[in-house]
Amino acid sequence: MAKKLNIGIVGAGRIGKVHARNLVYRIPGACLRAIVDLNEDAARGLAAELGVPGAGADFRELLTDPEIQAVLVCSSTDTHARITQEAARAGKHVFCEKPISHSLAEIDETLGVVEKAGVKLQVGFNRRFDANFRRVRRAVESGEIGEPSLIHIVSRDPAPPPIEYVKSSGGMFLDMTVHDFDMARFLIGAEIEEVFTLAGVRVDPAIGAAGDVDTAVILLKFCNGVIGTIDNSRRASYGYDQRVEILGSKGSIATMNNYPNQAVISDGQSVRRDLPLNFFMDRYTESFVAEVADFMEAVLMDRPVPVGGADGRISVAMAMAAAKSHLEGRPINLVTGDYFPNFLSADC
């Protein structure tokens, strides 16, 4: 990529650090000019580490800099929509970590502002950029496994998050399963017509006391007839469990977990290997690089972004439908308007 893109980052927390380091060390053409965070010391410390010239506490500093062309929004979820809107009005292209908001009305407002401003908005669903899942998508798209009939997604965290995080996350469906909803749509290449959720508290009673669940199976009915399941748990004692299988008319394709090495030990008692990678930051290292590189290419080459605002909205709506299904004990139809009228494309 010969052209350069001047970028500012809002948020110097965990994911902000990942993107900042990738921009400086791993993505050609990226020019990280400034980092801001409400915790100004965190912003200045990260900027000093990476040799970034600008740092501060107010994200508007990025928006008034005429040299900055794009902004990465990596701040707390409750600020995503406001910062995205202000960045768009300032003429900056935006990469926003998921979700844009926990409110569909606020998402719609944000998408309207972005469209009016004529800038690009990409939502941070990084799993689409994982090499394993991209291979699955190619197998479906090319017809390599024929017409898909079933998809099964396994997504289990190694351990539950802190209770304080649970209380502010919006719930497991919005915080965790939202990635799997996006993956289901991406891998099959079709919209989802109906969801039905079975969920409970099987890991930590404190999660239930906080009003959330930690274990779920969600059934999906796609508009093209494919049937899907998403299998979630906040605890997999053996590591970060991320698998997919799709069954088609000509065969199937499946991805297994990623491991720190390929060594297999065989002896008289067992055949075994080391545990899978234990954290999403390790499992999806390369996808975090690829998603921002693709965003930059879309901006510099004036191409559509690979994951747009509508994708972000649909996944949030599905998460809300899954929660409603759990509470009411019934399937939620997304097409008839029983919960989210007119948000799906007409191909249903």
* Cross-strand bridge partners of residue 333: 194
Mean pLDDT of 70-92: 97
128-278+310-333 CATH:
3.30.360.10
| In the predicted structure, residue 164 carries a pLDDT above the cut 60 | yes
Q: Which CATH superfamily is domain 5-119 in?
A: NAD(P)-binding Rossmann-like Domain (3.40.50.720)
In contact, 47 and 59? CB cutoff 8 Å: no
136: phi then psi, degrees, rounded to nearest 5: -60, -45
| Segment holding 88, helix H or strand E | helix 77-89
| In the predicted structure, residue 322 carries a pLDDT above the cut 90 | yes
Mean pLDDT of 220-236: 97
In contact, 323 and 197? CB cutoff 8 Å: yes
Q: What pLDDT band is residue 335 in, cutting at 50, 70 and 90?
A: confident
- The pLDDT of residue 281 is 86
Q: Which of 189, 165, 192, 170 is nearest to 181 (CA)?
A: 192
Neighbours of 122 (CB within 10 A): 26
Q: Which of 250, 261, 287 is nearest to 135 (CA)?
A: 287
SS3 219: strand
- The pLDDT of residue 13 is 95
The domain ranges of the chain are 5-119, 128-278+310-333
List, for residues 165-190, the tens digit of each pLDDT value.
Answer: 999 999 999 999 999 999 999 999 99
pLDDT > 70: percent of the chain: 96
pTM for this model (two decimals)? 0.94
- The pLDDT of residue 39 is 97
